[in-house]
Amino acid sequence: MLLKQVEQNLLQANELDVEFLRAMVQKLMLKHIDFCDLYLQNSFDESFTLDEGIIKSGGFAVDSGIGVRAICHDKSFLSYTNSLNAKIISNLVENIFVEPVAKIDTIGSKSNANKNSLDRYSRYSDGQFIYASDNPIYAITGDDKVSILRKIDQLCRQQPYVTNVIASLSLEYDEICIINNDLSPMSDIRPLIHLSITVIINKNNKVEKGSSGCGGRDLMSNTLTDEIIKYHADRAYNQAVLKLDAVDAPSGQMPVVLGNGWAAVILHEAVGHGLEGDFNRRGSSAFTNKIGQQVASENVTVIDEGCIPNRRGSLNIDDEGNHTQKTVLIENGILRGYMFDELNARLMGTKSTGNGRRESFACSPMPRMTNTYMQDGKYEHDEIIASVENGIYAESFDGGQVDITSGQFVFNASVAWVIKNGKLAYPVKGSALVGNGPECLKNVSMVGNNSSLDSGIGVCGKNGQSVPVGVGQPTIRIDSGLVVGGG
């Protein structure tokens, strides 16, 4: 379905129409390829950053263009231009180089196609859009955006020991149109809001910092209320204060409790990437050829869901025009499926799961996560903490690295505690968690009933492309397989 606003702003404003796009697709198909698509995009970005009490930077950018892609067997060919001009697009299509490729057999069979794949048009025909199409850039004035940052600065500086506050507000608005060889154009309008707060404190010449933030594909009036702003300002400050009393983390192998929400960044990196279709088609994932096998504790169910309303990782359609959906990856410890884009789904004899994503028209899509989370279990948060005699509670993480082939990872905890006799004893710093993603999943002994998604700050990088994502989980206990590296 082609949205009227997209047709006006992206096509008519550039003297293009649907019939022209269809003609370009038909011309591409004459090159004897398997699949092709055109991806047209208008992108608007605005940002402001406050630092040391003043607005240090601000920017506004507009970008538009088209990517022309052709797939032949296991090869993908992309040409792009930032000019939405009919003559230039026609030349791009005419001259796209498609190298002859020897035919290869697909892996698997059509009978293994994901039965949960949604019809390409069903959600649009029902009018089920999962986020508003309002442009956040024009929702409030520039002065009002600056006022939000100044309010954050004032809130934080009311607290003791604060020496600096860094606050940034980023707003995005994308209009896209996709047409592939089924000749039915699809479109989407994608707003995105992101607020980031960092508080720096100095007490007795000891300097620490804390961070918090939020965002999503929602109205400005819902995303940045006074209550939400104060919550994240207080959270950033309290995190910094906590670090003042933190001591070096212990080291060794011990039970680890991971907090709910953002702590699922480990799930995303150490497990999620290994469940993307390209790694499994190539045989380079620790989960390759394990569909139907026990790969995790029976307490673990992992889902990727791109159609959660207003979430940062959500999309009405993916970047190949397929509707996003709820895809069960691991169910009660059993591996049920992978995340697919068109290319890898075709080669593995299945269907796209709506996980084809690209950073912009200048990039080729690939299978990527949307909102990836672990489902609730039966335990209370306090009950899980109380079950640990001697261990670590990791509430939040700064980042880390993972090897997709082996599943080995290392992550740095930004907020962590030592657990002694079932209680949080004291905060620690410099705590690194080292382990193996698939192995850790097998040692999840307790799963909490407090599952939540992160506050809307996730960015995922893969092959040089960055896209917004969401992560989530309840509090979980991992008995073994994790080594804590500390002082």
pLDDT digits (tens, 9 = 90+) for 53-71: 999 999 999 999 999 999 9
pTM: 0.93
Q: Looking at residue 119, what is its pLDDT?
A: 42
DSSP 3-state helix, strand, coil percentages of the chain (rounded to 5)?
25, 40, 35
Q: Which helix (H) or strand (E) holds 342?
A: helix 342-347
More confident: 414 or 319: 319
Cβ partners under 8 Å of residue 205, min gap 6: none
What tokens does 411 get? Answer: 């992550």
CA gap 327, 24 in Å, rounded: 33
Taking residues 188-198, what's their average pLDDT? 98
Q: How confident is the model at residue 109 (pLDDT cuts 50, 70, 90)?
A: very low
The confidence score (pLDDT) of residue 398 equals: 84
Q: What percent of the chain has pLDDT over 70?
A: 94
DSSP 3-state assignment of 384?
Answer: helix
Q: pLDDT class for 105, splitting at 50, 70, 90? A: low
Hey, what are 100's tokens? 């002859």
Q: Is the pLDDT at 277 greater than 70, yes or no?
A: yes
> Where residue 404 falls among pLDDT bands split at 50, 70, 90?
confident
Mean pLDDT confidence for 474-485: 93
Backbone angles phi, psi at 237, to 5 degrees: -65, -45
- Give the span between the Cα atoms of 376 and 299, in whole angstroms: 9
Q: Which of 356, 371, 207 is nearest to 276 (CA)?
A: 356
Q: What is the pLDDT of residue 443?
A: 95
Q: Please give the average per-residue pLDDT across 364-373, as a whole number.
A: 98
Closest to 359 measured CA to CA, from 86, 55, 34, 63: 63
| Domain locations in the chain as residue ranges | 4-104+135-244, 247-485
**Gap between the Cα atoms of 270 and 254, Å rounded:** 19
- Per-residue pLDDT tens digits for 282-327: 999 999 999 999 999 999 999 999 999 999 999 999 999 999 999 9
Rounded CA-CA distance 224/139 in Å is 12
Q: Which two tokens stand for residue 176?
A: 């896209």
Average pLDDT over residues 211-216: 97
Section 337-359 average pLDDT: 97
Instruction: Report yes or no: 352 and 159 within 8 Å, Cβ to Cβ.
Output: no
Q: What is the pLDDT of residues 28-44, one digit of tens each?
A: 999 989 999 999 999 99
Nearest to 223 by CA among 268, 172, 164, 261: 172
pLDDT of residue 486: 75
pLDDT of amino acid 97: 79
Orientation angle between helical segments 142-157 and 226-244, nearest 10 degrees: 40
The CATH class of the 4-104+135-244 domain is alpha beta
Let me know if 98 is exposed, middle or buried by CB neighbors in 10 A (0-12, 13-18, 19+). middle
Integer Cα distance of 461 and 366 in angstroms: 12
Q: What is the pLDDT of residues 424-457, one digit of tens each?
A: 999 998 889 999 999 999 999 999 999 999 999 9
